[in-house]
Amino acid sequence: MVHVITKLDVGGAQETAVRCCTGLLRHGYDVTLVTGWHGGEAGPMASTARAGGVEVVELPCLLRPIRPWSDLMALVSLVRLLRRLHPDVVHSHSSKAGVLGRVAARICGVPVVCHTVHGWSFRDEQPWPVRSAVVLLERLLARITTFTVVVTRADAELAARYRIGRKEQLAVIRSGVALEAFRTADRKDARRSLGVGDQPVVGAVQRLAAPKDARTLLEAVAKAQVEVPDLRLVVVGDGPDRESVEEDISALGLDGSVDLLGTRHDVAELVAGFDVAVLSSRSEGLPRVVVEFLAAGLPVIASDVGGVSEVVQPGRTGWLVPPGDPAALANAIVSALRSDDSARIARDGREAVSSFDEEEMVGLLDDLYDRCVPG
């Protein structure tokens, strides 16, 4: 089988795709992962996939932005590759790869074509013509798709509302996480690694890119420091907006209060040192990082977007706030830090995500393929 994704940088969709591939390899499948380039490389998750035994094929013309000539070349390259490999299954991830991967698969007559939606690419805030065009494209692509996998019930409901595919073509398979690594990480070691002593720490694991809305997070921390002066923010992750984030830190007077750690591969070990975890995104599917936070026993404050409310339950495992509202986020941070229910929240959070195990995700995919692969 062949999985297709535009880029293997560090992110939820990318990690899910890689874990799908390595897990399916363990289940006896022959797996090739096709990815594109950005800035001259496929991204750090390509090394993770190769270390797990997955064959990774890099196509420099497979890019995330819409570029007609490169997109045509990527489609031609995918068709050539699929004709050489003769896979039984092509499984694409996210929007751009979902278009090119599915079209190439149908051109080549691949028997089974699957696609995973890591959050629909149409949103309410888009201009009506743009949103309508994207929905129409998704409807057309659903006609050449054997199964569409969504990671949240909310996305399944959107598919029904916008009449994207038939109900029997839709499967809800949540992104699997290596839960045990987050359950067992040592807090004292993490605090030493972060160099935070007894300071209260708010942590985020996210790309520094527009949809993650780091500006709202920084404004919220600045407001929360009025009540908690020694509050520290730790951000794990990197991205194209790093320079503007650094400028915002200085403009808000947060120099010395914010640590930007960049891309790290020891996230489970670092997260254990947080007191509160935050997700300030303006749009999401069901972010893996929220599941990881809850598995680590952390109270979570998150934007009420996408499928986040399926795991973050106000009063039980965390707080939900409107996206783009720094005042609401600041109030929730202060409430979380002053809460006396940390032990109960840790217990309930771990229980809430107990079904998000990586092996369960791979097993459900295996069952899905068994239902539709000939022979």
Residues 323, 325, 328, 329: is their CA dihedral positive or negative?
Answer: positive
Do 306 and 230 share a structural domain? Answer: yes
Do 153 and 24 share a structural domain? Answer: yes
Lowest mean pLDDT among 38-42, 93-97, 267-271: 38-42
- Angle, helices 288-295 vs 12-26, to 10°: value is 80
- The CA distance from 166 to 362, in Å, is 23
Residues 2, 5, 6, 11: is their CA dihedral positive or negative?
Answer: negative
First to last CA, the chain: 15
Helices (H), 272-325: 288-295
Residues 130, 132, 136, 138: is their CA dihedral positive or negative?
Answer: positive
Do 126 and 198 share a structural domain? Answer: no
Q: How confident is the model at residue 82 (pLDDT cuts 50, 70, 90)?
A: very high
Do 315 and 285 share a structural domain? Answer: yes
Q: What is the reported pLDDT for 182?
A: 93
- The CA distance from 151 to 254, in Å, is 36
Do 342 and 229 share a structural domain? Answer: yes
Expressed as residue numbers, the domain containing 43 is 2-176+357-372
Q: Give pTM, 2 decimals.
A: 0.83
List, in sequence order, every beta strand (DSSP E) within the chain: 2-4, 32-36, 55-59, 89-93, 112-117, 147-150, 170-172, 201-205, 232-236, 258-262, 276-279, 300-303, 318-321
Q: What is the mean predicted confidence (pLDDT) over 223-242?
A: 96
DSSP state of 281: -
Do 75 and 17 share a structural domain? Answer: yes
Q: What is the mean predicted confidence (pLDDT) over 295-321?
A: 92
Do 214 and 262 share a structural domain? Answer: yes
Q: What total of structural domains would you count in the chain?
A: 2
Lowest mean pLDDT among 139-143, 276-280, 348-352: 348-352
Residue whose token pair is 């051109």: 107
Q: How confident is the model at residue 297 (pLDDT cuts 50, 70, 90)?
A: very high
Angle, vertex CA 243, rays to CA 190 and CA 66, nearest 5: 105
Return the CA Rg of the chain: 21
Do 199 and 159 share a structural domain? Answer: no
Q: What is the mean predicted confidence (pLDDT) over 316-330?
A: 96
The overall average pLDDT reported for the chain is: 93
Q: What is the reported pLDDT for 123?
A: 83
Q: What is the mean predicted confidence (pLDDT) over 128-155?
A: 95
Q: What is the mean predicted confidence (pLDDT) over 201-230?
A: 96
Which of the two residues, 123 and 234, has the higher pLDDT score? 234
Which of the two residues, 89 and 343, has the higher pLDDT score? 89
Q: What is the reported pLDDT for 40?
A: 61
Do 111 and 190 share a structural domain? Answer: no
**pLDDT tens sequence across 7-50:** 888 778 899 999 999 999 999 999 999 999 766 666 778 889 99
- The CA distance from 287 to 301, in Å, is 13
Q: What is the mean predicted confidence (pLDDT) over 349-374?
A: 90
Residue whose token pair is 């899910």: 16
**Quick check: 213 pLDDT over 90?**
yes
DSSP state of 208: S
Pairing of strands 276-279, 300-303: parallel
At 269, give phi and psi (nearest 5°): -70, -35
Return the CATH number at 148.
Answer: 3.40.50.2000
- Angle, helices 95-107 vs 128-142, to 10°: value is 40
Lowest mean pLDDT among 255-259, 286-290, 311-315, 370-374: 370-374
Question: Burial code of 202-239, b = ≥16 C-beta within 10 A, e = fewer?
Answer: bbbbbbbbeebbbbbbbbbbbbbbeebeebbbbbbbbb
Do 237 and 162 share a structural domain? Answer: no
Q: What is the mean predicted confidence (pLDDT) over 114-138?
A: 92
Question: Burial code of 117-156, b = ≥16 C-beta within 10 A, e = fewer?
Answer: bbbbbbeeeeeeeebeebbebbeebbeebbbbbbbbebbb
Q: How confident is the model at residue 164 (pLDDT cuts 50, 70, 90)?
A: very high
**pLDDT tens sequence across 67-79:** 899 999 999 999 9
HSE-up of residue 227 (Cα within 13 Å, Cβ side): 14
Strand order through the sheet with 258-262: 258-262, 232-236, 201-205, 276-279, 300-303, 318-321
Do 150 and 244 share a structural domain? Answer: no
Q: What is the mean predicted confidence (pLDDT) over 204-209?
A: 94
Here the tokens at position 343 are: 């032990």
Asked if 252 and 278 touch (Cβ cutoff 8 Å), the reply is no
Q: How confident is the model at residue 109 (pLDDT cuts 50, 70, 90)?
A: very high
Do 202 and 153 share a structural domain? Answer: no
Asked if 45 and 19 touch (Cβ cutoff 8 Å), the reply is no
Q: What is the reported pLDDT for 41?
A: 66
